[in-house]
């Protein structure tokens, strides 16, 4: 198992430490989930556009956390007081050609053309009790659809999936996101990954990933994702135009 502490760094006269989320520590897991609910939910552009309540996101965020906590790949940044002020939730994906096919065959996009815009039925029939949770899940699934078909066969065998990277707004512009991403790339190397893959919905995240060399392999404009004719992500507060499926070869 990796050492919990990944690195220390200082910025603007403040000290920070980046650690792996300890799999067996219920307190660490609880802190990450609370950060998702109390900080990420209230600042992420697409959850803000939907005005998501904590009950809207509780189950979908719990599922994201549970999937990422299967691996020693997720990171937290803490301040000198030991408070979690930023997170990077990561998962490990092993693929072969059959896995790509199975993954894609089970996706909603297998029944649709890429020009599809209406998703009302998928949202109504989604896995969550909350309509907003289903909106989020269906949108992300649509952005990530047929991922393997966008890559040359055999290109990706093991990848790190960056699910969430988020920084408390009171600690912005201190290099926390960059350090979390840099540490995630190092972890991906150590686990034998050939690529990192992420779905970026916020402008700040898209810019960060581009800075590190990520390439966009798909863009889905917010205006083209409709719930019964309504573009539900219109007017995101960061003026973003859509989500991007991005990949980095390492």
Report angle CA 107, 98, 164 to the nearest 5 degrees.
Answer: 50
Length of the chain: 250
> Tens digit of pLDDT for each residue in 206-246?
999 999 999 999 999 999 999 999 999 988 999 999 999 99
Distance CA 106, CA 144 (A): 12
Range of the domain at 51: 5-249
Asked whether the predicted pLDDT for residue 37 surpasses 60, the reply is yes
Neighbouring CB atoms inside 10 A of 231's CB total 15
Asked whether the predicted pLDDT for residue 79 surpasses 70, the reply is yes
- Positive/negative CA dihedral, 224, 227, 228, 232: negative
CATH number, residue 107: 3.40.630.30
User: Which H or E element spans position 221?
Assistant: strand 215-221
DSSP per-residue string spanning 141-159: HHHHTTGGGGS-TTS-SEE
- Positive/negative CA dihedral, 24, 20, 93, 44: positive
Asked whether the predicted pLDDT for residue 176 surpasses 70, the reply is yes
Query: What local confidence, expressed as pLDDT, does residue 52 receive?
Result: 98
Q: For the residues 116-144, what does the mean pLDDT come to?
A: 97
* 105-109, 133-137, 175-179, 205-209: least confidently modelled range: 105-109
End-to-end CA distance of the chain: give it in Å, rounded.
22
Query: What local confidence, expressed as pLDDT, does residue 179 receive?
Result: 96
Query: What local confidence, expressed as pLDDT, does residue 210 receive?
Result: 99
Band of residue 111 on the pLDDT scale cut at 50, 70, 90? very low
Distance CA 181, CA 161 (A): 12
Asked whether the predicted pLDDT for residue 159 surpasses 60, the reply is yes
Mean pLDDT (the chain) is 89
Count of structural domains, the chain: 1
């Amino acid at each position: 198992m990796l050492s919990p502490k990944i690195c220390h760094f200082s910025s603007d006269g403040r000290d920070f430490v980046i650690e792996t989320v300890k799999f067996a520590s219920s307190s660490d897991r609880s802190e990450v989930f609370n950060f998702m609910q109390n900080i990420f939910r209230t600042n992420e552009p697409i959850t803000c556009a939907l005005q998501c309540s904590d009950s809207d996101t509780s189950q979908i965020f719990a599922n994201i956390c549970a999937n990422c906590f299967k691996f020693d790949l997720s990171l937290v940044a803490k301040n000198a007081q030991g408070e979690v002020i930023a997170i990077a939730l990561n998962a490990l994906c092993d693929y072969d050609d059959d896995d790509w096919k199975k993954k894609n065959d089970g996706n909603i996009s297998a029944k649709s053309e890429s020009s599809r815009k209406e998703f009302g039925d998928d949202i109504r029939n989604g896995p969550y009790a909350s309509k907003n949770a289903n909106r989020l899940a269906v949108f992300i699934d649509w952005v990530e659809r047929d991922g393997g078909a966008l890559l040359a066969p055999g290109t990706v065998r093991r990848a790190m999936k960056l699910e969430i990277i988020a920084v408390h707004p009171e600690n912005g512009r201190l290099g926390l996101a960059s350090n979390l991403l840099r540490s995630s790339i190092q972890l991906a190397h150590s686990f034998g990954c050939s690529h990192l893959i992420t779905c970026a919905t916020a402008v700040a995240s898209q810019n960060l990933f581009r800075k590190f060399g990520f390439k966009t392999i798909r863009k889905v404009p917010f205006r083209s994702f409709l719930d019964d004719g309504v573009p539900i992500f219109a007017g995101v507060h960061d003026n973003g135009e859509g989500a991007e499926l991005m990949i980095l070869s390492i």
